[in-house]
Amino acid sequence: MPKLRRTINAVFVISLAALLIAGIVFVAGQALALLTGQGDWLAILNDAVKGPACIAASVCAIAGFLLSYGTEEKRTEKKKRDQPQQEVRLP
């Protein structure tokens, strides 16, 4: 199971990096196209960068969702272990 978690974590990090890079390229490209008055660049960026950025965002979201699953169980187990045992006293 830890191997699967490491794999999902790697997918999350890689897709997050791809998403951020694609977002920066997309926004910077749009700004440059608007400043230079090149409307064709906007269409090229929309076709070339927007699709992969949306796919990377979806993969990142799914991986993040899957990663959120083991942490709650670990927190609950840790809480149970860390709580001192209460003594039962009879009157």
pLDDT digits (tens, 9 = 90+) for 35-67: 999 989 999 999 999 999 999 999 999 999 999
Two tokens, residue 12:
């999350």
Q: Count other C-beta atoms under 10 Å from residue 15's C-beta.
A: 20
Q: Which residue range is the domain that position 58 belongs to?
A: 12-69
In a domain, 89, yes or no: no
How far is Cα 20 from Cα 60, in angstroms, rounded to an integer? 11
Residue 33 · residue 42 · CB < 8 Å: yes
In a domain, 76, yes or no: no
> Among residues of the chain, what percentage have pLDDT more than 70?
76
Q: Is the pTM of this model over 0.85?
A: no
Give me the mean pLDDT over the 71-77 stretch. Answer: 64
In a domain, 36, yes or no: yes
In a domain, 45, yes or no: yes
Number of domains in the chain: 1
In a domain, 46, yes or no: yes
In a domain, 18, yes or no: yes
How far is Cα 22 from Cα 57, in angstroms, rounded to an integer? 10
